[in-house]
């Protein structure tokens, strides 16, 4: 795949992921819930894609995995939310971090399991 085509795929997916993340965090769900939602959904999506990566065209993995899931999920917002919660109560900060990481890893594992259970073409 030409480098420019790869960059276009990542950029299109990234723009979509960033818009979806903004919509989630600006919605009624709010910053904490929105960040948790996008991180769990993005982890699941990347788990599915990783599980079927060999069967996907490179451009599709770049679009959905590197671009969409990469921009949808957000480590920086997780860090800031954890820090802010920890300022009021270290237990709340630790709980938010634990729940987010636990659900994220679980979602990725479920995505992989789903992908691996799909029939091969």
Give the mean pLDDT of 65-84: 92
- CA distances for 61 relative to 67, 90, 103, 110, angstroms: 8, 38, 23, 18
Q: What is the pLDDT of residues 57-70, one digit of tens each?
A: 999 999 999 999 99
Angle between helices 30-51 and 75-88 (to 10 degrees): 140
Residue 59: give the domain boundaries: 3-117
Query: Residue 100: its pLDDT value, please?
Result: 95
Query: Residue 116: its pLDDT value, please?
Result: 95
- Number of domains composing the chain: 1
Give the mean pLDDT of 3-14: 98
Say yes or no to pLDDT of 39 above 90: yes
Q: Is 31 exposed, middle or buried (0-12, 13-18, 19+ CB in 10 A)?
A: middle
**Mean pLDDT over the full length of the chain:** 94
Give the mean pLDDT of 41-57: 94
Query: Residue 121: its pLDDT value, please?
Result: 58
Say yes or no to pLDDT of 29 above 90: no
What is the pTM assigned to this prediction? 0.86
Of the candidates 34, 6, 40, the residue with the CA atom closest to the CA atom of residue 20: 34
What sign for the dihedral angle of Cα 14, 18, 20, 21? positive
C-alpha 58/C-alpha 36 separation (Å) is 28
């Amino acid at each position: 795949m030409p480098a420019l085509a790869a960059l276009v795929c990542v950029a299109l997916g990234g723009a979509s992921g960033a818009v979806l993340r903004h919509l989630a965090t600006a919605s009624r769900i709010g910053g904490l819930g929105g960040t948790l939602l996008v991180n769990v959904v993005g982890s699941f999506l990347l788990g599915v894609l990783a599980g079927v990566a060999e069967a996907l065209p490179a451009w599709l993995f770049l679009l959905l995995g590197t671009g969409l899931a990469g921009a949808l999920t957000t480590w920086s917002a997780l860090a800031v939310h954890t820090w802010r919660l920890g300022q009021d109560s270290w237990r709340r900060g630790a709980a938010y971090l634990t729940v987010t990481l636990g659900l994220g890893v679980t979602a990725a594992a479920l995505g992989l399991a789903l992908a691996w259970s799909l029939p091969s073409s």
